[in-house]
Structure 1
Amino acid sequence: MSKTILITGASSGLGAEMARQFAAKGHDLALAARRLDNLEALKAEILAAHPDRRVEVRALDVTDHDQVFEVFRGFAEDFGTIDRFVVNAGLGKGAPLGTGRFYANRQTSETNFIGALAQTEAAAEILREQGHGHFVMVSSVSAMRGLPGNVTAYAATKAGVAHLAEGLRADLLGTPIKVTVLYPGFIESEMTSRNPGNKMLIVSTEDGVRAMVSAIEKEKASAAVPQWPWEPLGFALKHLPLTLARRLM
């Protein structure tokens, strides 16, 4: 069944590939990101491959909270309904705590958590008005444990957004509105090119996003993706002694 799917952070990486794969499955798209030129190019690419699809794009900086509400509401007015919201926009910069780069950790925190909060509020308002739909939060396997070095603040924000989405799910239990939290492992993207982690565990953008899309389409409550190796690694990361867990990332 065709759905209308809103994806933030859709100008590159995981967001852009999700748009391609959802379009190939017959869904219409509302795409938002800071880089409008990239979105326009992606729209043209998708429509060339799937001319029967509808694709609308809007510029969005998720740290402009008023704009978040305007863009989400604008897309809802464009399409009449939004069946699925995918909160994907995020930032991966950071530094070890106490090393003089508070600005980097603050920017990541403001984008990844407060920006996600604004998106969640805007999406939840629309979902509650509609009385149906699907909300998807893209977290990270790094949310499983406090981590050292450049990813400390990033991991904390991803734990925060996972709990935010789970709280929304608790509010909406028993309603036709579903909530999914995704915990992607190392999937090739602009973010992993800057912070590669364990290079042996990185999968291609296409394969990683295919696992994400599959979990989303099944409306799973939560999923580590790709399932192998990230489901067992996520469990290990959460439960191993910290001296061992920190080596996994």
Structure 2
Amino acid sequence: MEDITTRSELKTYFETGDRPTQSQFSELIDAYVHLNEFNFGLSVQPTSETYRDYYDFYIANEIESSSAGHRIIKSLQSDNPQEIDNYFHVLGREVFYKKLYVKLIGGIDIEEHKPKIIIKRYKQRKRYKSGYIRKSGFYQEKPKDATGWNRKSEYVVTNKEMVLDIEPIHYFKPNSKIYKKFSPSGSLNRPGSFKYSIHSKPFLPLKLEVEILINGIAYRSQPVDLKIILGSAGETDAINYLVY
């Protein structure tokens, strides 16, 4: 990219009493990227390869008073799962899942623009004890909150094409010992909520965006919409993604 006039120098063109020239106005315009011209974004699709890991699932003894109603821990298969205070073990099983193949679109320079993939999770409308009402919609989780659920709400991009593992099982929660009755993490139990029309599999909507820095200012691309669909038709049915 050609050298551009610094912000400090541009400001000197527009001080009180100045009469900026045509070339100085041109420098001002050229110093910024028009996002329609930059046209950056993200291509996303599930990997053809299927992966698998073993997980233990726990439910809190007192869900209403617990800060986390469930726990999901990657572990080694064992007849004696780890004991966790105030939680009871409901299930241990191997989980098959897909990862995401992601590709940056447009003239994004990894070193210059420092791209990140942002994940926004769908949340239902909820009324809190304080009286505050959260509207339904897509929200980016605070990093600390996401970490508490073994999730991440943003990923640093290191290559223009990469395989992204968001460990999709952490977007679901156990409601019983029956895997196919799991529901999206954080969802309210409402009849028919988040049931994919084919085979009635539980699902969760997500939005993925690319965030880049231009002159120190963050810009985000148009989102890619997808659903994480729980593979619940059999032991080897993988958690998959529907991009739409």
Shorter-chain TM range is: under 0.3
Structure having the higher helix fraction is: 1
CA radius of gyration, larger in: 2
Larger relative contact order, structure 1 or 2 (CA cutoff 8 Å, min sep 6): 2
TM-score, normalising length from structure 1? 0.23
TM-score, normalising length from structure 2? 0.23
